[in-house]
């Protein structure tokens, strides 16, 4: 077995921080690449006792991303609704940043039973209601900074701290004059989607696609990689639908426990647009057509409302 330090130069700092947290006896004996590292290097660490950990490693400049992730995991865990991997160690040296989490043996969310249990847990998360929309700190959606300055008006929060920054990034990258024309029409009209709907300030996961949700062997629902803030619970549901992967029983159980507003389908494209724009800005032109389709659809719907 290779010495871990030869596999990744960040591991000596990781091991030192783990020793501070768990005891000087700890020694990492293996470090194996695992899935979950599309943005960072992801490793399964094992110490001499056989204990395992999930570690994310990145250049030191990315330390704020790990700090925000740890904050979000702690907030969800404190709600008592969904299981999250516990934060074991968080740190950085001159060259590297790292986050070490509890290792959990995760299984995909596929069965009707698992879907229903996950829905019940998500409802419990969303029923954790605060006083303002936003969050006490900014965080990230993927690699993209996500501003969370607290506001009392959800529609204005979503326009100013979600859509407008994404459209501005798309403009800076030179994406499609027609997309910007749709943006100019849309941003001032979004509040019309909320004239008869006042969402509570729910605690949200914020990036709830199927890759960030799982269950343990006993069916316990688990989430990770959050982009936590307080907002409209519909936005978590819309994100879960955007890329698919959740069983139908999940949606049925959620609606049974806490029915959605009758106009949810009209607002769903708004919430999808934020994530598709983020993918456009992160991954490029393949997401341009869908961004334009969603923005155009929203403008057409809002135009009909004014007639």
pLDDT of residue 78: 98
Residue with tokens 């959605």: 260
- The number of residues in the chain equals 307
DSSP state letters, the chain: ---HHHH-TTHHHHHHHHHHHH-TT--EEEEEE-S--SSSEEEEEEETTS-EEEEEEEEGGGHHHHHHHHHHHHHHHHHTSSB-PPEEEEEE-SSEEEEEEE----B---SHHHHHHHHHHHHHHHT-B-SSBB-SS-EEETTEEE----BS-HHHHHIIIIIHHHHHHHHHTT--HHHHHHHHHHTTTGGGGGTT-----EEE-S---GGGEEE-TT--EEE-S---EEE-HHHHHHHHHHS--S-HHHHHHHHHHSPPPTTHHHHHHHHHHHHHHHHHHHH-GGGHHHHHHHHHHHHHHHHHHH-
Do 301 and 163 meet the contact criterion of CB atoms below 8 Å apart? no
pLDDT of residue 176: 83
Just list the catalytic residues: 207
Residues pairing with 58 in the sheet? 97
pLDDT in tens, the chain (307 residues): 344 544 578 899 999 999 999 999 999 999 999 986 668 899 999 999 999 999 999 999 999 999 999 999 999 999 999 999 999 999 998 899 999 999 999 999 999 999 999 999 999 999 999 999 999 999 999 999 999 999 999 999 999 999 999 999 999 999 989 999 999 999 999 999 999 999 999 999 999 999 999 999 999 999 999 999 999 999 999 999 999 999 999 999 999 999 999 999 999 999 999 999 999 999 999 999 999 999 999 999 998 876 5
Residue with tokens 């094992």: 46
Q: How far apart are CA 53 and CA 49, in angstroms?
A: 12
pLDDT of residue 304: 81
Q: How far apart are CA 92 and CA 164, in angstroms?
A: 32
pLDDT of residue 7: 59
pLDDT of residue 164: 98
pLDDT of residue 306: 65
Distances (CA, A) of 150 to 6, 76, 136, 137, 229: 45, 18, 7, 9, 9
Residue with tokens 């806490």: 258
Q: How far apart are CA 32 and CA 55, in angstroms?
A: 10
Q: How far apart are CA 43 and CA 148, in angstroms?
A: 30
Task: Enter the tokens of residue 7.
Answer: 């596999």
Model pTM? 0.94
Q: Which of 189, 256, 197 is nearest to 232 (CA)?
A: 197
């Amino acid at each position: 077995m290779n010495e871990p330090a030869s596999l990744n130069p960040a591991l000596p700092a990781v091991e030192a921080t783990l020793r501070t947290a768990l005891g000087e006896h700890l020694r990492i004996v293996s470090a194996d690449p695992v899935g979950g590292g599309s943005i960072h290097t992801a490793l399964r660490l094992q110490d001499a006792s056989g204990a395992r950990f999930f570690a994310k490693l990145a250049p030191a400049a990315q330390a704020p991303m790990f700090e925000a992730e740890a904050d979000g995991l702690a907030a969800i865990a404190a709600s008592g609704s969904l299981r999250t991997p516990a934060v074991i160690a968080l740190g950085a040296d001159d060259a590297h940043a790292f986050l070490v989490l509890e290792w959990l043996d995760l299984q995909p969310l596929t069965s009707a039973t698992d879907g229903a249990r996950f829905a019940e847990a998500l409802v419990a998360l969303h029923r954790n209601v605060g006083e303002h929309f936003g969050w006490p700190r900014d965080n990230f959606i993927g690699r993209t900074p996500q501003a969370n300055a607290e506001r009392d008006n959800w529609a204005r929060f979503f326009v100013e701290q979600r859509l407008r920054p994404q459209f501005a990034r798309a403009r800076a990258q030179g994406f499609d004059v027609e997309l910007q024309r749709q943006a100019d029409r849309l941003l001032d009209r979004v509040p019309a989607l909320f004239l008869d709907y006042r969402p509570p300030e729910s605690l949200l996961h914020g990036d709830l696609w199927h890759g960030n949700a799982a269950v343990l062997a006993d069916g316990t629902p688990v989430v990770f990689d959050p982009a936590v803030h307080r907002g409209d619970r519909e936005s978590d549901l819309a994100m879960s639908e955007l890329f698919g992967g959740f069983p139908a029983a999940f949606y049925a159980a959620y609606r049974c426990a806490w029915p959605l507003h009758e106009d949810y389908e009209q607002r769903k494209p708004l919430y999808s647009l934020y994530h598709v724009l983020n993918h456009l800005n992160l991954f490029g032109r393949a997401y341009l057509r869908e961004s334009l389709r969603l923005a155009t659809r929203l403008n057409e719907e809002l135009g009909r409302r004014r007639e």
